[in-house]
């Protein structure tokens, strides 16, 4: 991919800290979404959350003195659409899959991110980094347990989401690196709002039958009335998602995607934690073993290199 953005030094340690905090926050937000998925539709959550998040983002943008227009509007829009597709696929799986299973399925994305970063933007991926990513993937496999009930067709939804997410993060690194994270997140929530409204209007025009709506209420059901509790939960989710999206965008801007993608695996541990707190989903021995592998992968990939790394420049 070609990029006209000038080279900037990486801040890998800061990027790691930011992504670890971000995934802990987002795992909590996703647990809340799973909690309300029996009452609200996906599109209702998109709209309500964004109605709260957008004013927050505008206030933050104004306070930071950042212009509202992205430097590369087309690439920022493509990035937003990829992330919207990521969350549609992931959230659609939550009413069916446990939070921990959905988490490990979508966190096949670091493998995809490393591959795409190497193939499309020429990110250097050393042997140790590949070993760390693959070790983390083995941890995911240990948690997912091939051949178990976790391998329903619903597992394909977060796997599809993983592919969209990987594309979005490589695009963040290659085409949106100079963008303000605040502007990227504002555009993303604008895309969530538009998607929710368009999907709601489309479903109203199509007029699905009662049986289809009953089978998949989270995707096709009618909007439910929202009281103080529901709006409070949407405000909480909005604030958490703003924190996550700003953090993730910044982490992938300031550090190499293969390294950040490996620490992104921390979401799996966080999701298992919140799954236990909210839904009493107790991890078994293989899940705990998988988490240990994931942590080991992060330590391996972040170990100081014996060779001085070349200056990082977005490819071509």
Q: What confidence score (pLDDT) does residue 118 get?
A: 81
Could you give the number of structural domains in the chain? 1
Residue bearing tokens 């990486």:
10
Spatial contact of 111 and 271, defined as CB atoms under 8 Å apart: no
Residue range of the domain that includes 217: 12-302
Q: What confidence score (pLDDT) does residue 183 get?
A: 92
Q: What confidence score (pLDDT) does residue 267 get?
A: 86
Cα–Cα distance, 206 to 315 (Å, whole number): 45
Rg (CA), the chain: 19
- Domain annotation covers residue 308: no
- Domain annotation covers residue 316: no
Cα–Cα distance, 285 to 236 (Å, whole number): 33
Secondary structure class of 72 (helix, strand, coil): coil
Q: What confidence score (pLDDT) does residue 20 get?
A: 92
- Domain annotation covers residue 1: no
Q: What confidence score (pLDDT) does residue 147 get?
A: 66
Spatial contact of 149 and 99, defined as CB atoms under 8 Å apart: no
- Domain annotation covers residue 313: no
Cα–Cα distance, 228 to 221 (Å, whole number): 21
Cα–Cα distance, 131 to 126 (Å, whole number): 9
Cα–Cα distance, 294 to 266 (Å, whole number): 8
Q: What confidence score (pLDDT) does residue 113 get?
A: 81
Q: What confidence score (pLDDT) does residue 2 get?
A: 41
Q: What confidence score (pLDDT) does residue 304 get?
A: 55
- Domain annotation covers residue 213: yes
Exposure class string for 255-267: b at 16+ Cβ within 10 A, else e: bbbbbbbbbbbbb
- Domain annotation covers residue 61: yes
- Domain annotation covers residue 87: yes
DSSP state letter for 154: G
- Domain annotation covers residue 312: no
Q: What confidence score (pLDDT) does residue 156 get?
A: 84
* H-state helical runs in the chain: 12-36, 42-64, 73-93, 99-106, 109-120, 127-144, 156-174, 181-206, 210-215, 217-220, 228-254, 257-263, 266-279, 285-302
Which one, of 263, 292, 241, lies nearest residue 14 by Cα? 263
Q: What are the mean pLDDT values of the chain's consecutive 10-residue runs (316 residues total)?
A: 53 90 92 88 94 92 87 94 95 87 80 80 79 83 69 80 91 87 92 96 90 88 91 92 87 83 81 88 80 77 53 35
DSSP state letter for 37: T
Q: Please list, in sequence order, all residues whose beta carbon lies within 8 angstroms of the beta carbon of residue 223, skipping any fewer than 6 positions away.
A: 40, 41, 43, 44, 200
Q: What confidence score (pLDDT) does residue 257 get?
A: 77
Tokens of 259: 């390294």
Q: What confidence score (pLDDT) does residue 12 get?
A: 87
Tokens of 172: 């963040």
């Amino acid at each position: 991919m070609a990029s006209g953005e000038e080279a900037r030094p990486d801040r890998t340690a800061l990027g790691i800290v930011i992504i670890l905090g971000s995934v802990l926050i987002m795992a909590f937000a996703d647990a809340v979404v799973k909690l309300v998925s029996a009452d609200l539709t996906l599109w209702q959550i998109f709209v309500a959350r964004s109605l709260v998040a957008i004013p927050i983002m505008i206030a933050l943008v104004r306070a930071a003195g950042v212009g509202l227009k992205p430097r590369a509007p087309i690439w920022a829009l493509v990035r937003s659409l990829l992330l919207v597709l990521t969350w549609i696929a992931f959230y659609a799986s939550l009413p069916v899959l446990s939070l921990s299973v959905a988490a490990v399925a979508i966190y096949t994305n670091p493998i995809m991110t490393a591959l795409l970063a190497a193939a499309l933007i020429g990110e250097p991926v050393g042997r140790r980094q590949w070993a760390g990513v693959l070790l983390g993937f083995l941890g995911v496999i240990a948690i997912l347990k091939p051949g178990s009930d976790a391998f329903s067709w619903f597992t394909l939804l977060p796997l599809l989401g993983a592919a969209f997410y990987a594309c979005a993060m490589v695009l963040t690194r290659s085409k949106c690196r100079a963008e303000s994270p605040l502007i990227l997140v504002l555009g993303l929530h604008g895309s969530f709002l538009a998607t929710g409204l368009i999907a709601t209007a489309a479903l109203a025009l199509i007029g699905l039958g009662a049986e289809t709506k009953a089978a998949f209420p989270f995707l096709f059901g009618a909007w439910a009335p929202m009281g103080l509790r529901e709006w409070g939960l949407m405000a909480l989710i909005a604030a958490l998602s703003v924190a996550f999206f700003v953090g993730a965008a910044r982490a992938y801007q300031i550090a190499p995607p293969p390294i950040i993608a490996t620490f992104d695996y921390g979401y799996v541990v966080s999701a298992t934690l919140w799954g236990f707190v909210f839904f009493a989903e107790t991890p078994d021995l293989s899940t705990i073993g998988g988490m240990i592998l994931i942590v080991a992968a992060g330590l391996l990939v972040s170990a100081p290199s014996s060779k001085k790394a070349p200056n990082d420049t977005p490819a071509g």
